[in-house]
Amino acid sequence: MDQFDLIVIGSGGGTKLVRPVANLGKKVAIIEKEHLGGTCLNRGCIPSKMLIHTADLMTEFEKSKKFDVFLKSKPEVDFEALIKRVNETVKNESDSIKPLYHKTKNLTLFEGSARFIKDKVIAVGDHKITAKRIVLATGAEAMVPDIKGLKETPYITYRQALTNTEKPKKLIVIGAGYIAVELGYFFQALGVEVHFIIRSELLRREDQEVKEEFTKSFEKRFTLHKSREIESVSYEANTFCLKYKNFENKSISVLADQLLVATGIKPNTDQLGLENTDITVDERGFVKVDQMMKTTADDVFAIGDCVGNYLFRHSVNFEGEYLFNALYTKEVPEPIEYPFMPHAVFTTPQVASIGPTEEVLKAQGVQLIKGICKYSDSAMGMALRSDEGFVKLLFEKMSKKLIAAHIIGHEASSLIHILMAFIRKKASLDDIADMIYIHPALPEIVRNAARDAKKNAS
């Protein structure tokens, strides 16, 4: 049985520990059952945003008349070529990782599924390996709800949505989270009729005012079906039939030639043989860890989606870097301390956020000063002819420190970074309102929101 200093299961966020530890002279094994690079590179963030960039271009073409630009013919997208190009780019990037691993001294790549035989002993095919330390970074996969008839149909999840080269004419999307709205937006922008089946509300974890603005915008372009219960799904003659009950208890049927299930994710832990170890998981299958990212088994750690503290690539990168430092560079490691974790939703309009929502802060008893500025109430907003979107800033009343920011609108995913820096540096209301901003750049909306907060503070 081969002995290592460190075994990492998963080549997504786990890469933050692999080569850095090997470069310290430690003997490292990395195990990957699919393409190297993990979910983000192969079937998540990167390919989806490459596709969504094309959707953004098509959306801008649609808006061209607002700017007195008239196209002589409607732009068309070669859907098959687009999907093939994106997947070829992703594959080339993934394929470039293996040579790096092979030329890294002290590093061994095992390709296959990992399964614990007992604590600290892992089988990969015919190999049995062990290590002083093990890190689980196995990620997550699509969660498929238990709906009558669904498993007997050729539905797709985000995996197939990013690789299928045949464009549907009409698409049903089950789900209302960020994966659902991003992929639904992509297909709609490329000419697909998209229907959403929603149990509660779009982007339900976002700030309430953001959700209301987002829903108002989304309803203009999509058909939203508010469902109390999905009764069944069937497939016949190349057509899906989804039946649901609305909130008046009336049964409704929706037909389409494709069905996308985007109802969340579940951790990739059920095939790891954890029952043969002291590692424990919660009722949903997420690995339980302490503040040092340590599992309930000695010298076994876990990071990323399989833990479920946060479900972003930037969060697992943070956890991986923390764990590397805690295990290999610090004599006395400290517990992980998460900063406010930012996130963004890449659709139209974009949504971005850092810090708690106004509703959460009020429930915690925090006294707030709120400032809001609409995109339309700014010089760049006028240039963009914005008819939706705003920046919302939340300050703690006594200290006047910025503690949260929520944005919906053009380039929200970029604009949020200035507010991330303000929060990181503990900026006050005066710091933000009194800074000189380039005119007429988009960040002036941030200044205007801060000025609104100053009015509300007096």
pTM for this one? 0.95
Phi-psi region of 92 (alpha: psi -120 to 50; beta: other; left: phi over 0): alpha
Determine how β-strand 251-256 pairs with β-strand 258-261: unpaired
Residue 205 DSSP code: T
**Segments in the chain below pLDDT 70:** none
- In angstroms, the CA 256 to CA 239 distance is 6
- In angstroms, the CA 454 to CA 447 distance is 11
- In angstroms, the CA 174 to CA 261 distance is 5
Token pair listed for 174: 């089950």
**In this predicted structure, what is the pLDDT of residue 137?**
97
All structural domains of the chain: 2-141+266-328 (3.50.50.60), 150-263 (3.50.50.60), 349-457 (3.30.390.30)
**In this predicted structure, what is the pLDDT of residue 226?**
93
Sign of the CA dihedral with 356 first, then 361, 367, and 373 last: positive
**In this predicted structure, what is the pLDDT of residue 332?**
83
Residue 281 DSSP code: B
- Centre a 10 Å sphere on the Cβ of residue 125 and count the other Cβ atoms it contains: 11
**In this predicted structure, what is the pLDDT of residue 200?**
87
Helix (H) or strand (E) holding 241: strand 239-245
